[in-house]
């Protein structure tokens, strides 16, 4: 688990945390008015409107994500 | 992108981590991806209407005119004049919309029996006939057809194009049989206009042309009798005018 309680035994031991790199990606738009009710962009199959943007994602390094304006 | 009924936007570009409209991002770092849009303004609805008609020299609309033949001798007639004696082909272009319409191009075609006449025969004015302000236009024409380029027609404005023309057979001589055939069978005359740009519009005007034969020959009684007999045989009408001229006419009206 990422966090918790360790009860230390008499023999000792090692607790290792493994990490992977993630990057922060912001998805946004410019030019579309706030009154526009339609879809502006689709990210990984999810439709996003003006009110949803900008939106921030933390994505794993090397992962692939689709978008369509 | 979905189109909103009230307002439309068009994608212009994508900036940041990608430049394409749609695709895949392989994550190698942090950043932003921004879709850039502009408001889409649809082109204004362009609508022009056209009307055309033939008028006399005073811009009175006519539906017919008369060709007047005068007898030269027993066998020959001259088309001496027409009634009316001067003609205009008039084209009326109206812009009923709320915005100016630019780059208006129209072409016209006179009936083959008419020719363009005068030193400045094709004119554009803001008023009916040749009234109001003269509008600058690029005009080209040949014997009986031409084109007119008008830079702009204002919102709600009507422009009047006038083409001075004449009947090309004036002064020509004809044999008696040609004249009789003419009286019996001569077709109407049709004038056409086509608006080519920015919208298409077509109009045409047709005038009938009944003939009138005036005999001024010294032996008019004899001639009129001969003609009268012939024309009566063709089912034509004759009448004697008080001025001493024998007139025989057939009006196809």
Mean pLDDT of B92-104: 90
Inform me whether the C-beta atom of residue B41 falls under 8 Å from chain A C-beta atoms. Answer: no
Inter-chain touch B34–A31, beta carbons under 8 Å: no
Q: Which domains does chain B have, with CATH numbers?
A: 8-40 (no CATH), 49-250 (2.60.40.740)
Contacts of B245 (CB under 8 A, 6+ apart): B214, B215, B216, B220
- pLDDT-derived band at B235, boundaries 50, 70, 90: very low
Inter-chain touch B37–A30, beta carbons under 8 Å: yes
CB of A32 closer than 8 Å to CB of B37: yes
pLDDT in tens, B156-173: 999 999 999 999 999 999
- Choose the most confident range, by mean pLDDT, from A18-22, B43-47, B179-183: A18-22
pTM over 0.80: no
Measured between beta carbons, which residues in chain A are less than 8 angstroms from residue B8?
Answer: none
- pLDDT-derived band at B216, boundaries 50, 70, 90: low
Q: How much of chain B exceeds pLDDT 70, in percent?
A: 81
pLDDT in tens, B71-96: 898 889 999 999 999 999 999 999 98
* ipTM attached to this prediction: 0.85
> Per the structure block, which two tokens stand in for B38?
């502009």
Mean pLDDT of B122-133: 96
Mean pLDDT of B148-162: 95
Mean pLDDT of B140-154: 95
The DSSP annotation for A9-50 comes to: -TT----------EEEEEEEEES--TT--SEEEEETTEEEEG
**Under DSSP, is residue B168 helix (H, G, I), strand (E, B) or coil?**
coil
What per-residue confidence (pLDDT) applies to B191?
Answer: 94
> Per the structure block, which two tokens stand in for B237?
């009408």
**Looking at the predicted structure, is the pLDDT value of residue B8 above 70?**
yes
> Per the structure block, which two tokens stand in for B214?
């005036």
Q: Identify from A22, A40, A47, A69 which residue to disrupt to test chain B contact, counting B C-beta atoms within 10 A and taking the largest count.
A: A69
**Looking at the predicted structure, is the pLDDT value of residue A60 above 90?**
yes
CA pair distance B149, B136, nearest whole angstrom? 9
Q: What is the largest CA-CA distance in chain B?
A: 113
A13 or B192, higher pLDDT: B192
What per-residue confidence (pLDDT) applies to B97?
Answer: 84
What per-residue confidence (pLDDT) applies to B5?
Answer: 52
Inform me whether the C-beta atom of residue A26 falls under 8 Å from chain B C-beta atoms. Answer: yes
Mean pLDDT of B181-205: 85
Q: What HEC string does B31-77 produce?
A: EEEEEEEEEECCCCCCCCEEEEEEEECCCCECCECEEEEEECCCCEE
What per-residue confidence (pLDDT) applies to B197?
Answer: 77
Inter-chain touch A69–B1, beta carbons under 8 Å: yes
Picking from A25, A33, A68, the nearest residue to B7 by CB comes out as A33
What per-residue confidence (pLDDT) applies to A6?
Answer: 85
- pLDDT-derived band at B217, boundaries 50, 70, 90: low
């Amino acid at each position: 688990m990422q966090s918790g309680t360790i009860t230390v035994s008499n023999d000792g031991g090692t607790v290792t945390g493994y990490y992977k790199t993630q990057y922060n990606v912001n998805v946004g738009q410019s030019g579309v008015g706030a009154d526009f009710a339609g879809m502006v962009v689709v990210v990984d199959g999810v439709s996003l409107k003006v009110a949803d943007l900008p939106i921030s994602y933390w994505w794993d390094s090397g992962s692939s994500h689709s978008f369509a304006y | 992108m979905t189109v909103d009924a009230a307002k439309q936007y068009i994608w212009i570009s994508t900036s940041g981590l990608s430049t394409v409209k749609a695709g895949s991002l392989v994550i190698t770092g942090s950043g932003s991806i921004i879709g850039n849009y502009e408001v889409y303004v649809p082109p204004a609805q362009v609508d022009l209407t056209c009307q055309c008609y033939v008028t006399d020299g005073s811009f009175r609309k006519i539906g017919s005119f008369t060709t007047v033949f005068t007898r030269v001798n027993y066998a020959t007639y001259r088309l001496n004049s027409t009634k009316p004696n001067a003609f205009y082909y008039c084209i009326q272009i109206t812009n009923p919309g709320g915005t100016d319409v630019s780059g208006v191009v129209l072409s016209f075609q006179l009936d083959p029996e008419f020719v363009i006449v005068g030193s400045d025969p094709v004119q554009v004015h803001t008023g009916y006939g040749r009234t109001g302000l003269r509008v600058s236009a690029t005009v080209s024409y040949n014997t009986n057809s031409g084109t007119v380029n008008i830079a702009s027609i204002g919102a709600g404005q009507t422009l009047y194009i006038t083409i001075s023309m004449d009947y090309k057979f004036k002064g020509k001589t004809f044999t008696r049989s040609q004249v009789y055939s003419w009286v019996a069978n001569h077709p109407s005359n049709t004038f056409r206009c086509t608006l080519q740009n920015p919208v298409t519009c077509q109009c045409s005007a047709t005038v009938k042309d009944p003939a009138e034969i005036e005999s001024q020959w010294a032996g008019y009684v004899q001639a009129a009798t001969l003609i009268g007999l012939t024309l009566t045989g063709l089912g034509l009408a004759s009448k004697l005018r008080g001025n001493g001229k024998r007139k025989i006419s057939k009006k196809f009206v």
